[in-house]
Amino acid sequence: MKAKALKECDHYTAKYAECATGRTFSVVWKCRAQAKELNNCLHDYTNDKVLEEMKKEYALQEESKRPVGFDIGHFPSFHPHNHHPHYLSPTPLHHNNHLPLANTPTLKEVPCKDRRLKQRSRFYGMEKTRSLLILYATETGNALDAAERLGREAERRGCPVRILSLDEFDPARSTSTLPSEKFVIFVVSTTGQGDTPNHMKAFWTFLLQRSLGRQWLENTRYAVFGLGDSGYQKYNFVAKKLDKRLADLGGIAIIEKGLGDDQHPSGYEGTLDPWMSSLWAMLYNENPLLFPKGVNISVSDMKMLHPPKVEITYLDSHEVYPQSLAEIDLKSFEKEIVTSQSMLFGKRSSDKSKPDCFLKMVKNHLISRPGCGKDVRHFEFEALSSTISYEVGDVVEILPGQNPEAMDAFIKRCNLNPESYIIVKHRNKDDFLEDGVTNVPINLKRFIELTMDIASASPRRYFFEVMSFFASAEHEKERLEYFASPEGRDDLYQYNQKERRTVLEVLEDFPSVNMPFEWLVQLVPPLKSRAFSISSSVLVHPNQVHLTVSIVSWTTPFKRKRSGLCSSWLASLDPNQRVCIPAWFHKGALPAPEPSLPLILVGPGTGCAPFRGFVEERALMESKAVPTSPILFFFGCRNEQNDFLYKDFWALHSQQGKVLSEEKGGGFYVAFSRDQPQKVYVQHKMREQSAKVWDLLSKGAAVYVAGSSNNMPSDVLAAFEDIVAEEGGVSREAAVRWLRMLEKGGKYHVEAWA
Ligand SMILES: Cc1cc2nc3c(=O)[nH]c(=O)nc-3n(C[C@H](O)[C@H](O)[C@H](O)COP(=O)(O)OP(=O)(O)OC[C@H]3O[C@@H](n4cnc5c(N)ncnc54)[C@H](O)[C@@H]3O)c2cc1C
Ligand SMILES: Cc1cc2nc3c(=O)[nH]c(=O)nc-3n(C[C@H](O)[C@H](O)[C@H](O)COP(=O)(O)O)c2cc1C
C-alpha cells in the first residue's frame, strides 16, 4: 500500500516539476513534498500534552490524505467476524498507524520560492518595524472584537495597525508575506471540539508545511491571544497549537500566549486586559518607535474617538422606492437582504447573502408536555420560492424576525426617520463589492430589521466607550467611562453580558446619550442567522423541511426573564399567517449515510433532530425494497412523561423487522436522566448495550453524535473508548487510537451546539 502511495507521490512530484514555470500552482502541490513535511513535523515536537495532540493531528492528517477512491476496505480488520461489505475498518489496533500518504486535498495556490523571496524583499520595508499586523480567526465574533480592541489601543499609542481575518491574509500569496512582518498579533478562537474556526483552516494547513523551515519566521516577533472556554476538553487548543507552530518556524514570542476564558467572571476580557498591558510594555521595550505616544498614554489620547467606519447617505423615499412596504414581494425581499447584508458586513455578492429560499411555516406543534419546564417544538415549513433541496443530516439557517414594538422603540429612542432611505458604505472599502449592491438604497427601518440585533444580543464593551462620547449628562458619561475602563470591566460584565442587556435597554438606561446612526450601524451586534439540524427527509416530505427546536429561555442573576431570539420568534409564529422566513441550506457535520451502512446514533434532547430524518429515509428505502442496514439509536431526555420527543415515531420504527428493531440488529434505547434518584445519560445506556455497540462497530457501523456541545460529546466518546477496549480486548490507548482512525476514516461524526 505504502509503495502504491509513494508511486502516486512520484507521479505528482513529476507533474509538479513539469509545471514549474514560475507561475503559482494549485493542482500540483499535492503529494510527496507535503507528506514528507508533515512527517518531518512530527519529529519537531516533543513532550507536552498539546504537542502530543499535534503529533496525533499530523499523523491523522497524513492518514486522511489517501487518494480519492482509496479502498479502505483493503486494510485488515481487527475483528475476526467482519465480513460486512460496507465495513470501513480503521487500521488494526496493534499496528503502528503509518499509512500511505498521497494526493493531499490541498492548500490554496502556492507560489514558487523565488517569487516568495521577491515579494519578501519588496515588502520588507522599514515601516513594518513600526506597525502591527493583527490577524484574527473567529467563529462567532469575539476574536474580531478582541482584535479590534487591540488595534484601537495600539493606534492610541500612535502605532499604525492592519487588522485582517486569517482568510483575508494568504501568507504565501499576499503582497505582505508573514516573514516580512516584524510584529504580528494573532487572535484566534477555538470552536467545535478543539477545531480551528473555518476562516483559519487554509492558513493552518499552509503553516504545517515542512518546506517553511525552522528559520521561516526568524525575523518575526509574534504574540498569540486565544479565546476559549475552560469547560471544553480541548481548552484554547487552537491558540496553543498555533503558538507552538509559530515558535517552531523560528518566530519569537513577544509575550507568553494569553488565554481568554468564557468561564472567567469577566469573560475573555478578564485575561485580555492585563495581557494587553504587558504586550504594549514588551513591544515598547523591543522597539520604542512602535509607540510614538508611549505606552502609558495621556487622558486625551484615551479619550480619542476615531471616525466611524461607515458612512450613511440619506435619500428621499419618493425618489427611490415607489413600492410601499406592505407590497414587498419575495424578489424585493431577497434584494433587501442581499443589499443590507452587503452594506453591513461588506460581503461580496459571491458570498451567501442571498437566501436559498423563503419558507412558510405550516406546522407549529409543542412536543414536550405543556408546563413541564421545557418547551420543545416540531416545526414544519414549505418553500415559498424555489423548491427545497437538501439531504438528511444537513443544516438550515434561519434569519429571525425582530419584535416590531422593539423596533419602533429603538427608532424613536434614536430619533430616526423610519421612512427614510439610506446607502451605507464602509469608509475604506469602496472597491469591496463587485456589482454595486451597496449603491442600492434601502429603507432605514428594513435595514435595522434585517441587520441590527437591537433587542436580543448584548452590546460589546466598545459600545459603552463610544456611548460615553455622546452622553450629555455628566453622571451618565462618568458611568459609561467607568464601564469602559479596566476597573469597571467586572461591573460591566455583570450589568451587561450576565443580564443579557439588549442595545435598546442600554440606550434606555442612558437617556442623555445621542449616538449618531453611523455609530449604531457599526456597533449594534449584527443580527445573525441561527442553524438548525434538519429533522426530516425531503424524500418523505417533498418541498418541506422539519425542525425540532428547543425554545430557549432563562432567568438572569437579577431575576429578569430572557428568551432566545430565533427559537422564541419561531415559536410565536402562527402557521396561518404568511410570514416569509429567509433560509439557507448547507452541509453540516453529519453526511447522509448510504442505506446499507449500519448506524450507531447518539442524540439526546434535540440532538435527535437529524436522526428523525435518517430513520424516516431509511424506512422509506425499506418500503421500496432497497436493502438497508440496522440502526442502533441512543436517545436521552429528562423524564418519560415530559420530554420524550417523538415517542410514537421511535416506537413505530422499533416494531418487529423495522429499521430500529432488535431483530434487524438495531435498537432504540432511552436514558431518562431524572426518572430515578441517580442520573442516567446516554453514555450509561451505551455501556449497558456494549456488546451490541461492539457488534455493529465490527460490522462497519458509522457513529453519529448530535446535541449539546458541553460534556455530552466527550462523555459519549469516553463510553465508546470503554466499549472498544473491553469488548475488543485491547488497551485503552489502542481503543482511543482506533476511534480516532474511525473519525479520520469518515465514520465518526459529531454535530454539537451550545
Ligand atoms: C449546526 C447546528 C445545529 C443546530 N441544531 C439545532 C436543533 O436541531 N435544535 C435546536 O433547538 N437548536 C439547534 N441549534 C442551536 C440553534 O442554532 C440556536 O443556537 C438555538 O436555537 C438558540 O437560538 P436563539 O436565537 O433562540 O437564542 P439566542 O438569542 O441566540 O440566545 C442563546 C444564548 O443565550 C444565552 N443563554 C441561553 N440559555 C442561557 C442560560 N440558561 N443562562 C445564561 N445564558 C443563557 C447563551 O449565551 C446562548 O448562547 C443548532 C446549532 C448549530 C450550530
Ligand atoms: C459550538 C462551540 C464549540 C466550542 N468549542 C470550544 C473548544 O473546543 N475549546 C475551547 O476552549 N472553547 C470552545 N468554545 C468556546 C469559544 O472558543 C469561545 O466562546 C470564544 O469566545 C468564541 O470566540 P469567537 O466568537 O471568536 O469564535 C466553543 C464554543 C462554541 C459555541
CATH code (residue 285): 3.40.50.360
Q: Measured from the CA of 550, which atom of ligand 1 is nearest? A: 11
pLDDT tens readout for residues 671-725? 999 999 999 999 999 999 999 999 999 999 999 999 998 889 999 999 999 999 9
Q: Is the pLDDT score of 495 beyond 50? A: yes
Ligand 1 neighbour 603 (Cβ under 6 A): no
Binding residues for FAD, by number, are 500, 530-533, 564-567, 753
Ligand 2 neighbour 139 (Cβ under 6 A): yes
**Which of 103-112, 479-488, 529-538, 642-651 bottoms out in mean pLDDT, i.e. has the lowest?**
103-112
Residue 416 sits in the same domain as residue 381: yes
User: Which residues make Cβ contacts (< 8 Å) with residue 497, sequence separation at least 6?
Assistant: 267, 458
Here the CATH number for the domain that contains residue 459 is: 1.20.990.10
Bigger pLDDT: 220 or 104? 220
Q: Measured from the CA of 547, which atom of ligand 1 is nearest? A: 8
Residue where the block lists cell 498591558: 277
Rounded percentage of the chain residues whose pLDDT exceeds 70 = 77
pLDDT for the residue numbered 312: 94
Side chain identity at residue 643, one-letter code = D
Bigger pLDDT: 458 or 168? 458
Binding residues for FMN, by number, are 138-143, 189-192, 262
Spatial distance between the Cα atoms of 216 and 225, rounded to a whole number of angstroms: 21
Residue where the block lists cell 507535503: 34
Closest listed residue to residue 245, CA positions, set 228, 222, 263: 222
Q: Measured from the CA of 144, which atom of ligand 2 is nearest? A: 26
**Which of 283-297, 563-577, 687-701, 713-727 bottoms out in mean pLDDT, i.e. has the lowest?**
283-297
CA of 754 to the centre of ligand 1 (A): 6
Ligand 2 neighbour 193 (Cβ under 6 A): yes
CA distances from 528 to 399, 409, 566, 644 (A): 7, 21, 9, 30
pLDDT for the residue numbered 22: 28
Pairing of strands 553-555, 561-563: antiparallel
Which of 377, 397, 493, 532, when mutated, tests ligand 1's pocket best, judged by the most ligand atoms within 8 Å of its CB? 532
DSSP string, 660-671: T-TTTT-EEEEE
Closest listed residue to residue 192, CA positions, set 710, 742, 746: 710
Residue 585 included in any domain: no
Q: Measured from the CA of 553, which atom of ligand 1 is nearest? A: 38
Residue 330 sits in the same domain as residue 287: no
CA of 752 to the centre of ligand 2 (A): 12
- Residue whose Cα lies nearest atom 29 of ligand 2: it is 191
Residue 216 sits in the same domain as residue 335: no
Residue 414 sits in the same domain as residue 468: yes
Q: Measured from the CA of 554, which atom of ligand 1 is nearest? A: 41
Q: Is the pLDDT score of 89 beyond 50? A: no
The answer to whether 208 and 243 are in contact (CB under 8 A) is: no
Ligand 2 neighbour 196 (Cβ under 6 A): no
Ligand 1 neighbour 545 (Cβ under 6 A): no
The stretch 353-370 carries a mean pLDDT of 95
Q: Is the pLDDT score of 425 beyond 50? A: yes
Ligand 1 neighbour 689 (Cβ under 6 A): no
Residue 263 included in any domain: yes
pLDDT for the residue numbered 386: 76
pLDDT for the residue numbered 430: 46
CA of 534 to the centre of ligand 1 (A): 15
Q: Is the pLDDT score of 102 beyond 90? A: no
Helix 444-451 × helix 330-345 angle, to 10°? 70
Residue 514 included in any domain: yes
Q: Measured from the CA of 143, which atom of ligand 2 is nearest? A: 26
Closest listed residue to residue 344, CA positions, set 457, 435, 449, 419: 449
Spatial distance between the Cα atoms of 119 and 502, rounded to a whole number of angstroms: 47
Residue 281 sits in the same domain as residue 323: no
DSSP 109: -
The stretch 359-366 carries a mean pLDDT of 97
Residue 7 included in any domain: yes
- Find the DSSP H helices in 126-236: 142-156, 201-207
The stretch 556-573 carries a mean pLDDT of 97
Confidence tier at 52 by pLDDT (50, 70, 90): low
Bigger pLDDT: 384 or 12? 384
Indicate which ligand has the atom closest to the C-alpha of 561: 1
Residue 358 sits in the same domain as residue 287: no
Residue 247 sits in the same domain as residue 341: no
Mean of per-residue pLDDT scores for the chain: 82
Bigger pLDDT: 97 or 588? 588
Residue 340 sits in the same domain as residue 463: yes
Bigger pLDDT: 9 or 522? 522
Instruction: Give the phi and the psi of residue 597 in degrees, each rounded to 5.
Output: -90, 120
pLDDT for the residue numbered 462: 92
Q: Which residues pair with 423 in a beta bridge?
A: 313
- Residue whose Cα lies nearest atom 30 of ligand 1: it is 564
Torsional sign, CA 195, 198, 199, 203? positive
Residue 278 sits in the same domain as residue 350: no
Residue 51 included in any domain: yes
42-56, 328-342, 417-431, 740-754 — which one is most confidently predicted on average?
A: 740-754
Bigger pLDDT: 60 or 392? 392
Ligand 2 neighbour 236 (Cβ under 6 A): yes
Which of 136, 138, 139, when mutated, tests ligand 2's pocket best, judged by the most ligand atoms within 8 Å of its CB? 139
Q: Measured from the CA of 197, which atom of ligand 2 is nearest? A: 27
Spatial distance between the Cα atoms of 387 and 533, rounded to a whole number of angstroms: 19
pLDDT for the residue numbered 412: 98
Q: Which residues pair with 29 in a beta bridge?
A: none
Neighbouring C-alpha atoms within 13 Å toward the C-beta of 440: 17
Q: Is the pLDDT score of 343 beyond 70? A: yes
Side chain identity at residue 684, one-letter code = H
The stretch 279-285 carries a mean pLDDT of 95
Bigger pLDDT: 37 or 367? 367
Q: Is the pLDDT score of 132 beyond 70? A: yes
Q: Is the pLDDT score of 68 beyond 70? A: no
Ligand 1 neighbour 530 (Cβ under 6 A): yes
Indicate which ligand has the atom closest to the C-alpha of 586: 1
Neighbouring C-alpha atoms within 13 Å toward the C-beta of 175: 3
Q: CA-CA-CA-CA torsion for 674, 680, 681, 686, nearest 10 degrees?
A: -150
Residue 220 included in any domain: yes
pLDDT for the residue numbered 148: 92
**C-beta neighbour count of 49 within 10 angstroms:** 8
Domain that holds residue 386: 310-523
Q: Measured from the CA of 588, which atom of ligand 1 is nearest? A: 1
Closest listed residue to residue 242, CA positions, set 152, 287, 178: 178
CA of 463 to the centre of ligand 2 (A): 23
The stretch 109-133 carries a mean pLDDT of 47
pLDDT for the residue numbered 630: 95
Residue 327 sits in the same domain as residue 385: yes
Pairing of strands 442-443, 530-533: unpaired
Q: Is the pLDDT score of 752 beyond 80? A: yes
pLDDT for the residue numbered 349: 42
The stretch 71-82 carries a mean pLDDT of 30
Confidence tier at 517 by pLDDT (50, 70, 90): very high
Closest listed residue to residue 240, CA positions, set 257, 253, 260: 257
Which of 195, 381, 535, 552, when mutated, tests ligand 1's pocket best, judged by the most ligand atoms within 8 Å of its CB? 552
Closest listed residue to residue 659, CA positions, set 717, 722, 725, 593: 593
pLDDT for the residue numbered 518: 96
Ligand 2 neighbour 138 (Cβ under 6 A): yes
Spatial distance between the Cα atoms of 207 and 77, rounded to a whole number of angstroms: 34
pLDDT for the residue numbered 578: 84
Spatial distance between the Cα atoms of 98 and 65, rounded to a whole number of angstroms: 12
**Which of 25-34, 330-339, 402-411 bottoms out in mean pLDDT, i.e. has the lowest?**
25-34
Spatial distance between the Cα atoms of 255 and 433, rounded to a whole number of angstroms: 38
The answer to whether 609 and 619 are in contact (CB under 8 A) is: no
- Residue whose Cα lies nearest atom 18 of ligand 1: it is 530
pLDDT for the residue numbered 437: 54
pLDDT for the residue numbered 107: 27
Q: Measured from the CA of 400, which atom of ligand 1 is nearest? A: 25
The answer to whether 683 and 719 are in contact (CB under 8 A) is: yes
Ligand 1 neighbour 458 (Cβ under 6 A): no
| 3-class SS shares of the chain: helix, strand, coil, % to 5 | 40, 15, 45
The stretch 271-288 carries a mean pLDDT of 94
CA of 726 to the centre of ligand 1 (A): 36
Residue 632 included in any domain: yes
Side chain identity at residue 490, one-letter code = D
pLDDT for the residue numbered 265: 80
> Angle 372-378-384 (CA atoms, 0-180°, nearest 5)?
150
Residue 38 included in any domain: yes
Ligand 1 neighbour 754 (Cβ under 6 A): yes
Q: Is the pLDDT score of 15 beyond 60? A: no
CA of 507 to the centre of ligand 2 (A): 29
Ligand 1 neighbour 552 (Cβ under 6 A): yes
Residue 276 sits in the same domain as residue 335: no
Q: Which residues pair with 187 in a beta bridge?
A: 136, 225
- Residue whose Cα lies nearest atom 7 of ligand 1: it is 532
Residue 256 sits in the same domain as residue 350: no
pLDDT for the residue numbered 99: 25
- Residue whose Cα lies nearest atom 12 of ligand 2: it is 228
Ligand 1 neighbour 532 (Cβ under 6 A): yes
The stretch 212-226 carries a mean pLDDT of 95
Indicate which ligand has the atom closest to the C-alpha of 377: 1
pLDDT for the residue numbered 177: 83
97-106, 209-218, 675-684 — which one is most confidently predicted on average?
A: 675-684
Q: Which residues pair with 533 in a beta bridge?
A: 395
Ligand 1 neighbour 605 (Cβ under 6 A): no
Q: Is the pLDDT score of 282 beyond 90? A: yes
Closest listed residue to residue 149, CA positions, set 163, 128, 169: 163
Which of 150, 193, 224, 229, when mutated, tests ligand 2's pocket best, judged by the most ligand atoms within 8 Å of its CB? 229
Rounded percentage of the chain residues whose pLDDT exceeds 90 = 64
Confidence tier at 507 by pLDDT (50, 70, 90): very high
Q: Is the pLDDT score of 240 beyond 80? A: yes
Q: Measured from the CA of 188, which atom of ligand 2 is nearest? A: 26
pLDDT tens readout for residues 166-179? 988 877 665 458 99
Q: Is the pLDDT score of 53 beyond 80? A: no
Residue where the block lists cell 489502542: 734
> Angle 126-129-130 (CA atoms, 0-180°, nearest 5)?
100
Ligand 1 neighbour 402 (Cβ under 6 A): no
**C-beta neighbour count of 169 within 10 angstroms:** 20
Spatial distance between the Cα atoms of 165 and 171, rounded to a whole number of angstroms: 12
Per-residue HEC secondary structure of 204-248 comes to HHHHCCHHHCCCCCCCCEEEEEEEECCCCCCCCHHHHHHHHHHHH
CA of 582 to the centre of ligand 1 (A): 18
Confidence tier at 438 by pLDDT (50, 70, 90): low
Q: State the total domains in the chain.
A: 4
Which of 366, 567, 709, when mutated, tests ligand 1's pocket best, judged by the most ligand atoms within 8 Å of its CB? 567
DSSP string, 93-104: TTS---------
Per-residue HEC secondary structure of 241-273 comes to HHHHHHHHCCCEECCCCEEEECCCCCCCHHHHH
Ligand 1 neighbour 614 (Cβ under 6 A): no
pLDDT for the residue numbered 429: 58
Here the CATH number for the domain that contains residue 622 is: 3.40.50.80
DSSP string, 17-28: HHT-SSS-BSSS
Q: Measured from the CA of 235, which atom of ligand 2 is nearest? A: 11
The stretch 332-343 carries a mean pLDDT of 86
- Residue whose Cα lies nearest atom 14 of ligand 1: it is 532
What 3-state class would DSSP assign to 289?
Answer: helix
